Chain A
Amino acid sequence: MLIDLRRCIGCHSCSVACKAENRVPLGVFRSWVKIIEKGKYPNITRHFLPSLCNQCDRPPCVINCPVQATWKQNDGIVIIDEHRCIGCKYCLASCPYNARYVNPLMPIVQKCYFCYHRVYAGLEPACVEVCPAKARIFGDLNNPEEEITKLISKNPFQTLKPEMGTYPQVYYIAGDADAMDPFAGRKEWM
């Protein structure tokens, strides 16, 4: 997935669509938009960072799951078998992106899986379809004809925490370093 932050307007439609599509309970999120504000008036800007599971190419959650309840499929999506998960929460501790949560209603671990039920039916993920600014582009990076491949080929892009060696598969165009830094803006951590 590619998120073009030049187009993002910070409307939270993706978060709402995800909640509705996947019946995500109160208090937890599969997809959310981090918002930061930087500078002093009149030189001030807001930056958005839509966040979700990065479907890493080398996912630490998959390596560390002791019961093979989560794995990476051939198409690149990391999914969870909810009937096999024992809820040891080691994957939550291993994920560098805070993408996983324990469902408060049904005690198992869940996360974003690019709406694979929709993708297999030939639709786009809910957050992609609902984005009014068309900031989210979903597709196959191995196909040179797809829009996502063309955009990534033509623009500078960033990924979150590349130093973790996870090879994240959510790409950002025009991401702000402060929005991508977990410590920026936290006074108690400066």
Chain B
Amino acid sequence: MDVNIIYNIEHEMPLGILISLYFYLTGLSAGSFIISTFAYGFGMVRFKPLGKMGVVLATLLLVIAPMTLLVDLEQPLRFWHLILYLRITSPITWGTFLLTLYPMNCVVYGYFMFKGDMKRTKFFGLLGIPLALLVHGYTGFILALGKARVLWNTAIMPPIFLVSAMVSGLAMMILVVIIKDYIIQREKEHNLTLIYDLGKLLVASIVLDLILIGTDLTVLLTSHTEAYKAALMLLKGEFSRLFLGVEVLLGAVIPLFLLLSPFTKRSIPGLAIASILVMIGIFAMRYIMVVGGLSIPLS
């Protein structure tokens, strides 16, 4: 039957690229923090060169990330209301405290690491892991509890966010190590096995990420009408190029190929390209989740 909408009101999309950027930056921060604790928290000696880099990056990124949130507020000068008038059911309130505790822990952990106090470094490293997981997991909850938006309102959102944080964190680490070894400290001896080990971890996390995305899509496709339409939006609608082309093909399939094929998995340019593509793909994922989720009509 023919149905035509003659008149309707749709309000402007409330959140946009700034929020996607925020999710992206916290993801990178959580990822690099966890990589930094491989050596200093769990004693995996081969990852030791990443410890200091990881904690510095994690802290810096987490200083920038809340700035994007502050800029996105309509009344940035009222940000202190978040601490004074908190409501505990809101995931943003959880975030207020996590975004305060986590960088503080990062700074303390980094301080002891640079001082060489291994016992305390290990303690604060292990303390930081749940914080890092929560600081990124809560962003998944922000989307999952926005129950009006069918693309967000799924229990798999926090795990997807955690795994994609790991993916983007590993890719950034590979890039940073390559930049450090081949551009800044060209004369020194390079630690190639470190990069290859990171590459292997990246393969594992990309595969896990793809599995979670596939699970999410399968359930969306077989769920109620609105969910089905959201899945179609990703597969052949407005966001299909970004989703299939950038997030899945450029951001996961091509990097997997580069990391696994015998010609490129031991070549530094191959790994660098794979990491850059992965980082672009994860940003596309954040953008599709926020903007795509909001573009589904409500009225």
**Are B81 and A84 in contact (CB-based, < 8 A)?**
yes
Q: CA–CA, A97 to B94, complex, Å?
A: 26
Scoring B residues 219 to 249 as 1 if CB is less than 8 Å from chain A, else 0, what string do you get?
A: 0000011100100010001100000000000
Contacts of A92 in B (CB 8 A): 11, 14-15
Is the Cβ of B11 less than 8 Å from the Cβ of A109?
A: no
A-facing residues in B1-60 (Cβ within 8 Å)? 1-12, 14-15
Task: Tell me if B116 is interfacial: C-beta within 8 Å of chain A.
Answer: no
Whole-angstrom distance between the alpha carbons of A93 and B15 in the complex?
8
B200 within 8 A of A: no
B6 touches A90 (CB 8 A): no
Secondary structure dominating the interface of B: loop
Contact B2 A33 (CB under 8 A): no
Select A94's contact among B12, B82, B145, B224, beta carbons within 8 Å.
B145
Residues B74 and A64 in contact, CB atoms below 8 Å apart: no
Q: Known contacts A38-B3, A40-B2, A185-B4; decide if A93 and B149 are in contact (CB<8 Å).
A: yes
Q: Is A98 an interface residue (CB 8 A)?
A: yes
Chain B: minimal CB distance from A17 (Å) = 16
- In the complex, the answer to whether A37 meets B74 with C-beta atoms within 8 Å is no
Q: A96-B298, A164-B147 are in contact. Are A107 and B86 (CB under 8 A)?
A: no
A-B contact pairs, 18 of them (CB 8 A): A34-B7, A34-B9, A35-B5, A36-B6, A51-B9, A60-B148, A65-B90, A67-B78, A69-B85, A86-B74, A90-B92, A93-B15, A94-B146, A94-B148, A98-B11, A184-B5, A185-B5, A186-B5
Query: Taking beta carbons and an 8 Å cutoff, which residues of A are in contact with B?
Result: 28-29, 32-40, 46, 51, 60, 63-69, 84-90, 92-98, 100-102, 107-109, 163-164, 178, 182-186, 188-189
